[in-house]
Structure 1
C-alpha cells in the first residue's frame, strides 16, 4: 500500500534550524522513500512499511538527541506525490 506523509518538526531549542535540516537530509538518504521539501513541511511518499520504518528510525534518533522536539504528522493512505507535482506545474 502506498502512503503519503506530511511531517513538520519543531525542536524546542534555540538552535532549531540545523536539527531540522539534518533530519530531512537523513530522510532523503533512505532510497525506498521519496522526499519533497517545502518551507512549511516535508512530504514523504512510498510503501507504507518503507515510510513507517524510515520515520520510526529517524524520529527515534531525533528524540534521543533532542527529547524536547515536537513532530506533527499527517498520513493519507494514497500516493499523493503525482498529484502534488501536477498541481505545482
Structure 2
C-alpha cells in the first residue's frame, strides 16, 4: 500500500495511517520507504483497509492510495 496525501505535512498523515494499520492485532504490518506491506487474513485486511482508507479520504480528500494484492502468502513457500 502506498499513500500519497496531496497536502503540506504529508508525513504525519502517512505515519498516522500506518499506526492505524498496526493497531489491528490480527495483521502484520511491514512499513518501508516506498510502501507498507500488510499480511494476514484477506477478510480482516479488507475490512481494515475499508475503514482506514475511508478515514484518510474523509480527512484528506486530496489523497491517492495505490494497493497491490497478492493471492498467496509472501512469507510461505513462494517467498524468496
**Pairwise TM-score range, normalised by the shorter structure:** over 0.9
Shift of 1:14: 1.5
Superposed, 1:1-89 pairs within 5 Å as 7-81=1-75, 83=79, 87=80
Looking at both structures, which has the greater relative contact order when contacts are Cα pairs under 8 Å and sequence separation is at least 6? 1
Q: Secondary structure at the match of 2:19?
A: helix
Q: Secondary structure at the match of 2:7?
A: coil
Listed as ranges, the gaps of 5+ residues in structure 1 are 1-6
**Higher strand fraction: Structure 1 or Structure 2?**
1
- Runs (4 or more) in structure 1 with deviation over 6 Å come to none
Shift of 1:81: 3.3
Aligned residue pair count: 78
Counterpart CA distance in 1 for 2:14 and 2:32 is 12
**TM-score normalised by length of structure 1:** 0.83
Shift of 1:23: 0.2
